[in-house]
Structure 1
Amino acid sequence: MRDQEPRLTTREAAELLGVKPETVYAYVSRGQLSSRRAPGGRGSTFDADEVRALARRGRRDGGGSGAASGQELSVRTRLTLIEGDRYYYRGVDAVELALRHSYEEVAEWLWTGRPSPGAVLTAPEASATAARHAAAALPEHTTPTDRLRVAAVAAATADPLRFDLSEDAVLGTARVLLPTLVAALPPAWGGHPEQGPLAHRLWARLSGLPAEEAALHALDTALGLLADHDLAASTLAVRVAASARAHAYAAVSAGLGVIEGPLHGAAGGLAHRLLLEVLDQGDAGPVVAEELRAGRRVPGLGHRLYTGEDPRARALFALLEDIPRAAPALAAARDVQATVARHAPLHANVDLALAVLTASSGMPATAAETIFAVARTAGWIAHALEEYGERPLRMRPSGVYTGPRPPQPVP
């Protein structure tokens, strides 16, 4: 019997993966790698086979699809570049774009690559009414993402031109679908504006607190920051649907179906609940300990694509510092990060910053997922537009069969 292979140190694992040691801990926080405390409690150790398997999955080919050879799927795109702990929309710094322009203007930039100053998105009455009626028929406990998914399907039924996949037609769909999704959400209080910036309309459906200018700007910026992020899981689902020539409403529905996972759109809600617990107890220590004891990763920390702090989190935290009522939640977030940093040098990601925004704005924990879904719809449609220009059904990787070899007897 082969002797058990020695476990790898953090530095050895980092060298094998071709990343910095901090990124190894980010893989652990994302559930992609398991770790064990080293003897004496100094540092962590990693299973060599598991590290090698992750390294193999991480090797990308130069373009096209490497899925058939066991590599990750690679798709050429002109939309978002993530490089050097920064990210760019069509070559423009995405953080700067989101800070200086409204979410609607950011969306138009992703869709067309052209500036659209003063862009406004308004839902036609037929589309908004169909979406509202369909969403209102759902059970009371329905999640906001369920409502958005149903609203997208209902809006599609009100659009007889939905099967037209020409660029102009899909752009028309995009400009209708985004405000329709927001219109389908129930208001958090009596007033629910249907005009004006989309962030203002969304605020009225998420919070019963007054919409102060600084908070509205933070929400609008968060939407722009989250509009796209390369080929995340939900975006890949959208491109697969678009590759099969599903119309834009159906492609967005595919994205909404994926976004509910705790490792994707739902992560902000987990971070929101964590911050509320820290605020309730007055100390992150016992809250973080309970998360780890339960075998859960601490939400809101670490990102596989950034070795340092998530640039989206950094930008959003800076805006939240100008909102007095956000101070307690900001302090709780810093306490969480400092507590975890004693053992793993993980930086805050956008989920933690989004949780500070929602927790300090009187919003429910599900609000983070709602913001994420509405924001990412702009990027999904941009990717669908891009995919419609590619060869149909190219998103068809080959499976690697590992079952029993035929012929086998019929059971």
Structure 2
Amino acid sequence: MTDPANGDGRRIDTREAARLLGVKPATVYAYVSRGQLTSRREAVGRGSTFDAAEVEALARRSRREAAAAPAGDLSVRTSLTLIEGDRYYFRGVDAVELASRHSCEEVAEWLWTGTLTPGTRFGAPPQALAAARQAVAALPEHSGPVDRLRVAVAAAAVVDPLRFDLAEEAVLGSARALVPTLAAALPAADPARLADAPDEGPLARQLWPRLTRREPDEQALRALDLAMALLVDHDLAASTLAVRVAASARAHPYAAVSAGLGALEGPLHGAAGRLAHRMLAEVLERGGAAPVVADHLRAGRRVPGLGHRLYRGEDPRATALFARLEGLPQAAAALAAAREVAAVTARQGGLFANVDLALAVLTLSCGMEPEAGETVFAVARTAGWIAHALEEYQERPLRMRPSGHYQGPRPPQPLP
């Protein structure tokens, strides 16, 4: 249709815009919310209309992006996290300030929906929780945290009949159930006190007895909650990219989270917190950071907990968590050890502390096992993974399909 009030500018309805773009009508409005398209509300009964030229330009741009050969780093459009100027932002809001003032659950809701809902709490459905606990209990005792979380996700998925519904509200329902299910499905650190491990309430309080035998105090719980809120998302880490690839293939949210956990199992992504915990324990045992740092360097190993390729200075997540831990009396020794490690390496132009070092201070000072940092990271990051899956479900399916650069012998070759 032609809009007389707009000169020669042709306006089209949502159905026609969706056809030109090769997407669902709901995705057209996702483009509007991201500022890639502008819409205008017409008279009653006509709904919204779009400038045809603008839609066609976006369609051409999308086709060029799809056809372009991969070059350099993979770039993915996202409205979730921006890392810029040694800070990071969730939907344009300073992530450290947001996490410092709001719970992990509230930060997750902000990332998922763009709406801040004070007092948000997540609850694990009884059937999903029972299935996840049964699956986790069947694993050998030496199973790691990611092993347990992977089987918990698979068990929770099987009992969710709506898991294949990728509409936003359905995915959000699964997300609000899955995150607390993962926390509550883990075994208690002290089996004799299993009854004291809550299945409801704040997520940090649910997770605490699965991480340590110690009684929680409010300052420690606030530190754990802050750590989780800070870790919810951090742009396209390897695990997050794996999630988006799975979501691009329209895998359901549980399967997408499983893809993230699979990448997290790699030693270059998920193991840093464990290594930093053990290093700090050794610093405290040996009475100083210098010999421990020297041993790492002599062996050709990186000093864990230091450096981040996205920040020139100290990781802002580490800065925030260190500041919160200063109010925790039992963290004083581990905090001093962490700062000594950073100071020793800084004398040689070394690297600054990252969030793994701060998380190691938390786990060590609260009597947690070295693997606890992985658990905290994985449970918190599940919320961010689902946010990325939600975004990816609005994109063209299977868009993450790079072409291989074949380097083998040219055909035809004789049969072996």
**1:157 is the counterpart of 2:162:** no
1:119 alignment counterpart = 120
More deviation, 259-268/86-95? 259-268
What is the CA-CA distance between 1:341 and the residue it aligns to? 1.4
Provide closer, same or farther for how the CA distance between residues 82 and 127 of structure 1 changes in structure 2, counting only shifts above 3 A.
same
SS in 1 for 2:69: helix
Partners of 2:89 and 2:210 in 1: how far apart? Answer: 30
Instruction: Please give the alpha-carbon distance, in whole angstroms, between the structure 2 residues aligned to 1:143 and 1:186.
Output: 12
Secondary structure, counterpart of 1:119 in structure 2: coil
Q: Which residue of 1 aligns with 2:95?
A: 94
Match of 1:138 in 2: 139
For 1:228-239, what aligned pairs fall within 5 Å after superposition? 228-239=233-244
Give, as a single letter, the amino acid of the residue that structure 1 aligns with 2:414: P
Percent identical pairs in the alignment equals 72
Out of 270, 281, 301, which is 1:265 matched to? 270
Q: Provide closer, same or farther for how the CA distance between residues 253 and 67 of structure 1 changes in structure 2, counting only shifts above 3 A.
A: farther
Classify the secondary structure of the residue corresponding to 1:82: strand
Q: Which moved more, 1:396-405 or 1:214-223?
A: 396-405
Would you say 1:393 and 2:398 are equivalent positions?
A: yes
Q: Which runs of 5+ in 2 are unaligned?
A: 1-63
Check the 8 A contact 1:131/1:152 in 2, yes or no.
Answer: yes
Report if the CA contact (8 A) 1:149-1:256 is conserved.
yes
Determine helix, strand or coil for the equivalent of 1:161: coil
Kindly indicate whether the alpha-carbon contact (under 8 Å) linking 1:64 and 1:75 is maintained by their aligned counterparts in 2.
Answer: no
Give the alignment of 1:321-360 within 5 angstroms.
Answer: 321-360=326-365
In structure 2, the partner of 1:285 is: 290
Cα deviation, residue 66, structure 1: 9.8
| Distance (Å, rounded) in 2 between the aligned partners of 1:95 and 1:329 | 22
Tell me the SS of whatever aligns to 1:406.
coil
Query: For residues 123 and 357 of structure 1, what CA distance do their matches in structure 2 show?
Result: 26
Residue among 369, 383, 387 paired with 1:382: 387
- Say whether the 8 Å CA contact 1:81–1:89 is kept in structure 2: yes
Aligned to 1:276: 281
Distance 2:268 2:343 in 1: 22
Q: Could you tell which deviates more after superposition, 326-335 or 285-294? A: 285-294
Residues 152 and 182 in structure 2, CA contact (< 8 A), matched pair in contact too: yes
Asked if 1:214 is matched to 2:219, the reply is yes
Contact 1:64 1:74 in 2 (8 A): no
1:49-75 deviation digits (Å, cap 9, x = unpaired): xxxxxxxxxxxxxx9579834311100
For structure 1, list consecutive stretches of 5 or more residues without a partner in the other structure.
1-62
1:229–1:134: structure 2 CA closer, same or farther, 3 Å change rule? same
CA RMSD of aligned residues (A): 1.3
Q: Which residue of 2 aligns with 1:82?
A: 83
Query: Does residue 316 of the first structure (1) align with residue 317 of the second (2)?
Result: no
Tell me which residue corresponds to 1:148: 149
C-alpha distance in 2 between matches for 1:325 and 1:65: 53
Deviations 1:157-176 (A, max 9, x none): 01011100000100000000
Secondary structure of the 2:164 match is coil
SS class of match (1:88): strand
Distance in 1 (alpha carbons) for counterparts of 2:400 and 2:218: 44
Q: Which residue of 2 aligns with 1:35?
A: none
SS at match of 2:88: strand
Using the TM superposition, give the Cα deviation of residue 225 of structure 1 relative to its aligned residue in structure 2, in angstroms: 0.3
Q: Is the 8 A contact 2:70 2:402 kept in 1?
A: no
Q: When the two structures are superposed, what TM-score results if normalisation uses the length of structure 1?
A: 0.83
What displacement does 1:264 show? Answer: 1.6
Give the structure-2-normalised TM-score: 0.82
Shift of residue 294, structure 1, vs aligned partner: 1.8
Q: Show CA shifts across 1:31-63 (max 9, x none).
A: xxxxxxxxxxxxxxxxxxxxxxxxxxxxxxxx9
Please give the residue correspondences for 1:137-216 in structure 2 after superposition, counting only pairs within 5 Å: 137-189=138-190, 190=193, 191-216=196-221
Asked if the contact 2:184–2:198 (Cα under 8 Å) also holds between the matched residues in 1, the reply is no
**What is the deviation of 1:265?**
2.1
Which amino acid is 2:134 matched to?
A: H
Give the equivalent residue in structure 1 for 2:231: 226
Distance in 2 (alpha carbons) for counterparts of 1:113 and 1:305: 25
Task: After TM superposition, give the deviation of residue 260 of structure 1 in Å.
Answer: 2.0
What is the aligned partner in structure 2 of residue 296 from structure 1?
A: 301
* CA–CA separation in structure 1 for the residues paired with 2:174 and 2:337: 41
**1:344 offset after TM fit, Å?**
3.0
Moved more, 306-315 or 287-296: 287-296
